[in-house]
Structure 1
Amino acid sequence: MLPPDEHSVLGDFNQTAFAGEGITATFSKRQSNYIITLQDKGQTREYPVQYTFGFYPLQQYLLDIGNGKLQAFDIAWDSRPRDQGGQRWFYPNSNHSNDPASEFHWTRHLNNWNSRCAECHSTGLDKNYDPASGQYQTRYQEVNVACEACHGPAAEHVRIAQAGQLQSKPGAGLTTHFAPPLSFQFKQNAGIARAPSRTTAKTQQAQQINACGGCHSRRQIIGEPDPARPYHDQYRLTLLHDPLYFADGQIRDEVFVLGSFMQSKMHQQGVTCTHCHDAHSGDIKIQGNGLCSQCHAGSVYDTATHHQHKADSAGSLCINCHMPATTYMGIDPR
């Protein structure tokens, strides 16, 4: 999420147009302003872009519709390369009604940034919603996800860093500090590695779920979000039911992983987020089956005897059977 400028805006605002799904929109630039013009039932209305939202594989644009409400406009820019079908305007919610009365219409609550998006995409958020007037005066400390979103208040960290005393306090003065994840180990002739201390592994796992889970789960807020507090004291996790999950518990709708992960054998054994993902980029640490071979012996599982496919083929990849991707928003496989 960034203010619009020549660096942050990826979409083509050179008098381009989109017509379809009951929407007619023109995208233009006027001096330093990026403008989306809508034609609806003979009426024309202009909306200056307030913020960009996302960058790959698609970018949306937040528009102010009054009362402090920022809405994610539902024509997005496909930022993939042209040879992959990108560099175009498209409608990412073609499986939902675009009728103004529908909850999926861009002016309705499901596309409201203040209540649906901001909490996980900005840091130090205060929604400031007044139910009597229906107005928002939303504020944030950082426009994007920043250090304090996961590590909590960092005033003490800054103080001791400026004093050259980072080593003087456990966790470098951060409210929430994460030790490197415990390395799982293979016992002799074992096909699956285990944590040398399941108690330590589960403690580390709980710390990361408390910090990461709030934005990587489908849930309702029941307390003030705090990365240092237990997840279930802050959120009510959506249960495994149709149509959000498949019958075997795998992800179907956008449930953001945690609910499915918490029912897995990996979770039972103490595997946590940073065993597989870099905490800051979110990228996986190892490409291909090497990621899974950290705990699942390649000599047992990365073989044709197990996966029944030729080596180095798509069928031989662990994730293609055990974590198949689903495409959301038209072009975003996850």
Structure 2
Amino acid sequence: MKKVSAMLWIVGVCLACKPAQPDVSTEFVGVEGCASCHMEAYQKWQRTTHATSMQEATPQTVKGDFTKDNVYTFGGVTSTMSLQDGRYFITTPGADGSQGTHEVLYTIGDRDTQWYITELPGGHLQILPVYFDVRRNTWYNPVEGIIASPSEQPLDPGDISFWMHFGRNWSAQCFDCHASQIEVNYDPDAGTYDSRWVDLSINCETCHGPGQGHVAFWERALTDAEAASMQDTSLVDLKTLTAEQSVEHCAQCHATKRILKLGYRP
């Protein structure tokens, strides 16, 4: 009992001392806020894969063939893609084996491969069980690609990585590197998510930090000579980082990881 009590005390102290997480509603201005002053940088950013890491599904963003080569069968499991009135759908078996039609709400990626997200009840954003190889112009099952372990058979409906389960839940597995300033707002009692974000992309503030202080500084500097004479240190200047710091900075996403605390910055 003493060990348990001591452990509970330590946990309590740690929770009490835990730094507050950034308030995404006030500390971040979003990519459009940055673009209002930094249009040249914004236009260059638009041509990068950071800008297309996650997007709403529209005729301009969807790369997969939803109208012609739009039926894919792997291991006896068939998925059919369709386009109806500008909206994208994938019909595929669910965990109970029955076919269901699910609207594609978001895309992930657009250079090498593109994956598709739908929403199930309870705010569960799930990665659908086919992806499009942009370079080869063909559909694949996830177990044929680079995300899941290679297999000659589709995942069993009871597998945690089956598309309707936790292993393919965007809010649990993918969110921290495929959108910016995300709050998943998971309710463990109800088993629901209310995921929110600042931008569906890897925005400027993902690397440079919250921009509200930067905006406030320059708003003051325009009318206050004393403020204008000071240096704005509110953002991370990537040019000043050491090689080790640069690696740590990029490795927040560009490395295999397990999230222990949201908002961590090296």
State the TM bucket, normalised to the shorter chain: 0.5 to 0.7
Identity of counterpart residues, as a percentage? 28
Aligned ranges 1:1-334 → 2 under 5 Å: 1-14=54-67, 16-39=70-93, 43-80=98-135, 86-94=136-144, 95-96=150-151, 97-162=154-219, 163-164=221-222, 168-170=229-231, 172-180=232-240, 204-227=242-265, 231=266
1:70 CA displacement: 0.9
How far off is 1:133 after superposition?
Answer: 1.1
Change (3 A) 1:169 1:34: farther
Superposed displacement of residue 76, structure 1: 0.7
1:180 offset after TM fit, Å?
Answer: 4.6
CA contact (8 A) 2:178 2:202 kept: yes
Q: CA deviation at 1:173?
A: 4.0
Cα 1:21/1:178, change in 2 over 3 Å: same
- In 2 relative to 1, CA 102–43 (structure 1 residues): closer, same or farther, beyond 3 Å? closer
Q: Aligned to 2:251, what secondary structure does the other structure show?
A: helix
CA distance in structure 2 between the partners assigned to 1:52 and 1:30 by the alignment: 17
User: Which string of whole-angstrom CA distances, capped at 9 and with x for unpartnered residues, describes residues 189-238 of structure 1?
Assistant: xxxxxxxxxxxxxxx245334432221222223333233xxx3xxxxxxx
Q: Which whole-Å CA distance do the structure 1 matches of 2:132 and 2:101 have between them?
A: 18
Aligned to 1:309: none
CA RMSD of aligned residues (A): 2.4
- Kindly provide the CA deviation profile for residues 6-51 of structure 1, in whole angstroms up to 9, marking residues without a partner as x: 1000111116211113421111111021111125687331100010
Residue 89 of structure 2 contacts residue 102 of structure 2 at CA under 8 Å; is this kept in 1?
Answer: yes
Give the drift of 1:112: 1.2
Contact preservation (8 Å) 1:58, 1:77: yes
Aligned CA distance change for structure 1 residues 224 and 11 (closer, same or farther; 3 Å): closer
Q: CA deviation at 1:59?
A: 0.5
Asked if structure 1 preserves the Cα contact closer than 8 Å seen for 2:108 and 2:178, the reply is no
The 1-side partners of 2:117 and 2:202 are apart by: 17
In the TM superposition, residue 66 of structure 1 has moved relative to its aligned partner by 1.8
CA distance in 1, matches of 2:109, 2:254: 16
State how many pairs are aligned. 200
Conserved in 2, the CA contact under 8 Å of 1:59 and 1:77? Answer: yes
Q: Distance in 2 between matches of 1:39 and 1:120?
A: 28
Give me the whole-angstrom Cα distance separating, in 1, the residues matched to 2:260 and 2:230: 32
The residue type paired with residue 253 of structure 2 is C
- Whether the 8 Å contact between 1:70 and 1:112 is mirrored in structure 2 is yes
Give ranges in structure 1 of 5+ residues lacking alignment: 81-85, 182-203, 232-334
Task: Deviation per CA, 1:258-280: give whole Å up to 9, x if none.
Answer: xxxxxxxxxxxxxxxxxxxxxxx
Please list the CA deviations of residues 128-157 of structure 1 after superposition, one character each: whole Å capped at 9, or x if unmatched: 011111111011111111111111111121
| Distance in 1 separating the partners of 2:234 and 2:174 | 26
TM-score (structure 2 length as normaliser): 0.67
**In structure 2, how many angstroms separate the alpha carbons of the residues matched to 1:7 and 1:50?**
13
Instruction: Assess, with a 3 A threshold, how the Cα gap between structure 1 residues 104 and 39 changes in structure 2: closer, same or farther.
Output: closer
Larger of the two Rg values belongs to structure: 1
SS at match of 2:196: coil
Distance 1:12 1:34 in 2: 10
CA distance, structure 1, for counterparts of residue 202 and residue 159 of structure 2: 30
Task: Kindly indicate whether the alpha-carbon contact (under 8 Å) linking 1:160 and 1:173 is maintained by their aligned counterparts in 2.
Answer: no
Q: Deviations over 1:79-111 (max 9, x none)?
A: 11xxxxx11111241314511111221122222
